[in-house]
Amino acid sequence: MPSIERPGLSFWMAASDHTVSAALERLAAIVGENVEQLVDAFYSTFLLHEEASAYLSHSVVNQRLRYSLRQWLLDLVDEDLRSDTSGFEQRQIKIGEVHARLKVPNDIVMEGMTLLKTEIARRVSVLGLDATTTAETIILLDEAIDFAMRFMTEAYVSDTRSRAQTDEAFRLFSLGQDINLERETQRAALMEWSQSVLFSLLGEKTEEARNMLSASPFGLWVRHRAAVLFQGSTVLGRIEDLIRQIDQRTIPAISGREPAAVSDLQRQVEELKYLLNELFQTAANIENGRDPLTRTLNRRFLPSILGREISLAKSSGSPFTLLMVDVDHFKTVNDTYGHSAGDAVLGCVAEYLLGAVRSSDYVFRYGGEEFLIALVETDRTEAQIIAERIRQGIAAQRPRVSETRTVEITASVGVASFEGHPDYQYMINAADKALYRAKQEGRNRVCVCGDTRPGSTAARQEAAPPEPVVNHYKRQQVP
């Protein structure tokens, strides 16, 4: 073998051809005969590991990772690391990127590698080989696993750093929005909530669940958007504490008609208004980072936002749903009326979408004529209703493509809900598949991932006039 500089593989590079070939043959036999037991040992151990079980418990992840680990072990003992390893290295890099995307802690992966080393070495030790041959085989195994782990870790760290930078970029971008408008919007949402609670006192019974501040548009904004805009702010922490006090003490006291409860609520609302002003006072009034045509979020922020929302959904058990919206026959509009007309259509659709969701939701320009909407704390049934309203609302738009002409437009919508898979791309793919089915079934309809019935969510309503669409929907407006 020609001499190649390969740090971390000193024993491989110094060993004779016979030593390496014989060791690989032994290791291949051990892994081939015991691969299922090795995979079982890995998962049975790690499912008991509190931190690791969160990443391995989902059935789809479990099935895919079991297959991937099995294939990785077989490939490992079939690779002569003294020759060209570029393909081997790329495979390890890809694995590291997946681990980063799933946010699997690297120490868990390293612990898994140690477990595999021990299990294979234990089997080598009972082959009846002499001490030197046993040691050579185990050293070659250890160097091979460490070599693979090196590329996984480099990719993991690089991808994690990149995502952290994107997270920070989104936070800075969010701070650069029209902060004065955002502040007044949230002040209005807070006051609307407080008025609804006070008006409920006029009724015979106050419904605590309906009046919870945490479930109001203001509460959702604090939990989902403010947490990004003002990450790490002590003032935000005080606001969150005050919301909990209101929900856990003041609202039940109001429901019980306690005399001091109303004055307590008024004092707490005033304190929230003060804290809200304090939270916004240092923010700049600069707009950047949005898609220049549609003013929707740039898709570069998808990993940051969806990753965070999935983590929040997993930890809190709250629902989370994506809508993939595609303008039907958009190419025909471009070809018939020109690209400026296409831009007018996209601008019209984007303006409608931005007005049709809550301040706690997210609207992205996903690409071309596609938009991705993230509906926080919204389950599949509710999202299906919202998607149908959006479909009807888009059908009611008449974008102007010239001074004298408007065009009719429709859209297809795919719906996918979070079902436990930690990779946001899995959820996007599910919404995309549902959208594809909506296109295949004739367009201008809503399809939900997992429901394979033809016309599963929306009957063919092209001929029917659109129902009134409620913009800025609130949870209580959904039947």
- 26 and 34 Cβ atoms separated by less than 8 Å: no
Report the DSSP beta bridge partners of residue 297.
Answer: 290, 364
Q: Give dist(CA 83, CA 342) in Å, integer.
A: 54
Strand pairing category for 411-417 and 446-448:
parallel
Sign of CA dihedral 313, 316, 317, 318: negative
∠ CA 312-104-151, rounded to 5°: 145
> Which residues fall within 8 angstroms of residue 44, CB to CB, at 6 or more apart?
none
Question: Which one-letter DSSP state was computed for residue 473?
Answer: -
Q: Report pLDDT for 459.
A: 36
pTM passes above 0.75: no
> Per-residue pLDDT averaged across 370-377, rounded?
97
| Between residues 120 and 292, the one the model is more confident about | 120
Pick from 173, 180, 171, 177: nearest CA to 277: 180
Place of tokens 């868990």: 108
| Between residues 142 and 292, the one the model is more confident about | 142
Q: Report pLDDT for 205.
A: 54
Where does 47-84 have alpha helices with state H?
50-56, 59-76
Strand ranges across the sheet with 320-327: 297-298, 362-367, 370-376, 320-327, 411-417, 446-448
Mind listing the pLDDT tens digit for each residue in 199-224? Answer: 877 665 555 556 789 999 999 999 99
Place of tokens 């010239």: 402
Burial tier of 84 (Cβ tally within 10 Å: 0-12, 13-18, 19+): exposed
Q: Which two tokens stand for residue 360?
A: 């706690």
Q: Report pLDDT for 165.
A: 60
Where does 103-229 have alpha helices with state H?
106-125, 131-175, 179-200, 208-211, 217-221, 227-229
Q: Report pLDDT for 159.
A: 78
Mind listing the pLDDT tens digit for each residue in 20-51? Answer: 999 999 999 999 999 999 988 887 777 777 76
